[in-house]
Structure 1
């Protein structure tokens, strides 16, 4: 497989992963509320940012930058409820940063090396910690919730898996900068 073909395949797999995560989170909005809506916006936005057909200088990156600025403002608003929403703020600001780099027309190696490095460390830690939590949650002694009409067993693990998938996607997008 040629390098350009394998790169395109990886990009489309990232698009699919982020879109499926966003769709799952969107489906959770009636039960989980605003947090799931924010995750859905992040998943769909990441999917759009990962589409390999968009070139630099188009309207897509600035438009997504505006969407993620709005998501960052929403995350700041959510911080009133507790510091556990800080990850949404970091994610939104990371997407704004990547949108700015895409809009500027810079290719690989774009961005501020120190900021990109710090974000890589943050998301690498998030992925490792999230994976460890997912593994330990799957092996816990607590019985899964009863499945019945309108209820699904193990939805907490699936939500954590979606967040982990989006963290991996963010890490992958940062690595391509």
Structure 2
């Protein structure tokens, strides 16, 4: 990605930390949460790799096509899993966005920047993805607002099974996706 190196490294740290937390969530007792956490860990680490400032570490020529293949496979998996519920459609959109960015980076001169905008402004697909992820960030942020406390409530679930932490994980990746799409 292009842009200031310091913000690139902050995005790398955010995405890598999110990916690491998602790996820990894979220890959940609930099978559906383990599966979702695995896909989210892949997304977090993939975003961290893509966010490394190109001015600091030039990616090898095979990196972008390899990422496109990995996220294409993740997208096919999400498409297959979407048969069971709409929640997997978000993973499908995320994998598609990663494929789009990887292909755009591979096609750009030097493979270090997003597609050239010329005088035409933001490409349509980038704009649609930006709108989707901004809406996702806003909706997810509202869902994280705490509700009223329950007096004398029972002990919460295992830390890896806490839905608010999973939502926060998805929210941070969506924010990272917005940042990456803005640099395209």
- TM-score scaled to structure 1, two decimals? 0.86
Task: Report the Cα offset of residue 47 of structure 1.
Answer: 0.4
Partner in structure 2 of residue 125 of structure 1: 135
Partner in structure 1 of residue 174 of structure 2: 167
Task: Report the Cα offset of residue 57 of structure 1.
Answer: 6.6
Task: Describe how 1:114-153 pairs up with structure 2 within 5 A.
Answer: 114-135=124-145, 138-142=146-150, 146=155, 151-152=158-159
For the residue of structure 1 that corresponds to 2:155, the secondary structure is coil
Q: 1:96 aligns with which of 99, 110, 127?
A: 99
Q: 1:29 aligns with which of 26, 29, 32?
A: 26
Task: Report the Cα offset of residue 155 of structure 1.
Answer: 2.4
Contact 1:25/1:39 (8 A) holds in 2? yes
Contact 1:56/1:102 (8 A) holds in 2? no
Distance 1:153 1:141, change over 3 A: farther
Unaligned runs of 5+ in 2: none
Partner in structure 1 of residue 42 of structure 2: 41
Partner in structure 2 of residue 8 of structure 1: 5
CA RMSD of aligned residues (A): 2.4
Contact 1:25/1:36 (8 A) holds in 2? yes
Task: Report the Cα offset of residue 152 of structure 1.
Answer: 2.9
Contact 1:57/1:103 (8 A) holds in 2? no
The answer to whether residue 164 in structure 2 is matched with residue 157 in structure 1 is yes
Task: Report the Cα offset of residue 116 of structure 1.
Answer: 0.6
Cα distance in 2, alignment partners of residues 72 and 153 from structure 1: 25
Moved runs in structure 1, 4+ residues, more than 6 A? none
Q: Which has the higher contact order (CA 8 A, sep 6+)?
A: 2
Task: Report the Cα offset of residue 56 of structure 1.
Answer: 6.6
Distance 1:115 1:17, change over 3 A: same
Per-residue CA shift, 1:60-107, capped at 9, x if unaligned?
111111110110011011112111110000000000000001111253
Q: Which has the higher helix share?
A: 1
For the residue of structure 2 that corresponds to 1:139, the secondary structure is coil
Contact 2:137/2:174 (8 A) holds in 1? yes
Q: How many residues align?
A: 169
For the residue of structure 2 that corresponds to 1:87, the secondary structure is helix
Unaligned runs of 5+ in 1: none
